[in-house]
Every structure is written in C-alpha cells, then in structure tokens.
C-alpha cells in the first residue's frame, strides 16, 4: 500500500488540550455529553413552544 502523501504533513497539535484517559474529556457543564445534548433538544423544544405562542398572539 502506498503512503498517503498527506501523512507526511501530519503534525501533532502544539497545544493539545487535556483529554480524559481512554476517551474524550467531559464537557465543562452538566458532567456528561448526553446531558448536554439533551439540553440542546430541550432548548429547541422551548423555542418551538415560544414560536407557537407567538403564532397565537393577537388571535
């Protein structure tokens, strides 16, 4: 197998952030990634509910 010429350019980041052993570092809030994803979905649900309220305004 030929070597990908791009591999020759790969360099390690000069300031790699800390990573948890064996995985991705946890988020700075809520402790775990699934909880953060749930927050995003909850905010979307709230925004849609707000849009529903706006649509009913003045009727």
Partner 1 sequence: MSALDWTVLFGALACFVAYGVWRGRGERDLTDFLLAGRSMRWPMVALSVMATQASAITFLSTPGQGYADGLRFVQFYFGLPLAMVVLCITAIPLYHRLRVFTAYEFLERRFGPGTRTLAATLFLIQRGLAAGLTIYAPALVLSVILGWDVRWTCVLLGGLVVLYTTSGGSKAVSHTHVLQFSIIMATMVVAFGMILAALPAGVGMGDAAWLAARLGRMNALQLHFDPNDRYNLWSGLIGGFFLQLSYFGTDQSQVGRYLTGRSVAQSRLGLIFNGLVKVPMQLGILSLGVLVFVFYLFVAPPLFFNPAESARLASGPGAAAWQTLENRHHAAAASRAVHARELLAARHRGAAAAEEAATQALREDQRALGEVRQSATQLIRAHDPGGQTSDTNYVFLVFVLGHLPVGLIGLVFAAVFAASMNSTSAELNALASTTVVDVVKRLWKRGADGRRDVWISRLATLGWAAVAVGFAETCSRLGSLIEAVNILGSLFYGTILGIFLVAFYLPRVGGSAVFTAALIAEAAVIACFRFSGLSFLWYNLIGCALVVLLGLALEPVLGRRRAAAA
Q: How far is CA 2 from CA 5, 6, 8, 10, 58, in A?
A: 9, 12, 12, 16, 68
Structure tokens given for 22:
């064996």
Count residues binding partner 1 (CB under 8 A): 36
Question: DSSP string of 15-30?
Answer: TPPP--TTSPPPPSSS
Binding mask 4-23 for partner 1 (x = CB under 8 A): -xx-xxxx-xxxxxxx----
Residue 25 within binding range of partner 1, rule CB under 8 A: yes
List contacts with partner 1 (CB under 8 A).
5-6, 8-11, 13-19, 24-28, 33, 36-37, 39-41, 43-44, 47-48, 50-52, 54-55, 57-59
């Amino acid at each position: 197998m030929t070597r990908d010429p791009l591999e020759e350019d790969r360099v390690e980041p000069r300031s790699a952030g800390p990573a948890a052993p064996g995985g991705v570092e946890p988020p700075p809030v809520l402790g775990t990634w699934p909880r953060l994803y749930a927050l995003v979905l909850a905010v979307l649900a709230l925004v849609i509910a707000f849009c529903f309220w706006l649509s009913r305004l003045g009727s």
